[in-house]
Amino acid sequence: MTEQIYATPCGNIHYWINKEAVNSDFQLVFLPGLTADHRLFEKQIEYFEGKYPIFVWDAPGHAASWPFCFDFNLMDKASWLDEILVKEGFDHPVIIGQSMGGYVGQAYAQLYPEKLKGFVSVDSAPLQRRYVTAAEIWLLKRMEPV
């Protein structure tokens, strides 16, 4: 894996990539969650490296991607991810997102459905309203006292 840096208006995003692979029909994109960094997927990368092109990042504001101005939203993260993937020639991504990484993956799927080849969510909830009941929203709005 080779470390690269992608500059954004809010700061630099550090990511690691290995494009050398036996099968390049699609590329594996690992997105760690809140407070985690690229090391979260060490074992998965060890297993898949050389078999498929692989990408993992330290999300904006995390680990090597710090300092970072927090003037961005989820869609900004998905857009930056796409810009990096385009730059690196990842045109058939399978996003594997853990927690917040899964939210970024869902935002990516919403913005770029034609590009996404697959999505694996680990400990992430759906972002779309249609997956949440009225009772769940009512409860969420009253969670502070709980």
At 98-145, the pLDDT tens digits run 999 999 999 999 999 999 999 999 998 888 878 778 887 788 788 777
- CB atoms under 10 Å from CB of 140, counted, come to 9
Containing 102, the helix (H) or strand (E) segment is helix 100-111
Cis preceding linkage at 60, omega within 30: no
SS3 assignment, position 122 = strand
Please tell me the distance from the alpha carbon of residue 79 to that of residue 121, in angstroms, as a whole number. Answer: 19
At 125, list the tokens.
């909830």
Q: Which CATH architecture has domain 2-140?
A: 3-Layer(aba) Sandwich (3.40)
Q: Rounded to the nearest 10 degrees, what angle do helices 100-111 and 74-87 cross at?
A: 70
- Predicted TM-score (pTM) of this structure: 0.89
Taking only Cα atoms into account, the Rg of the chain, rounded to an integer number of angstroms, comes to 16
- Examine the pLDDT at 2 and tell me if it is beyond 80: yes
Domains of the chain, by residue range, sit at 2-140
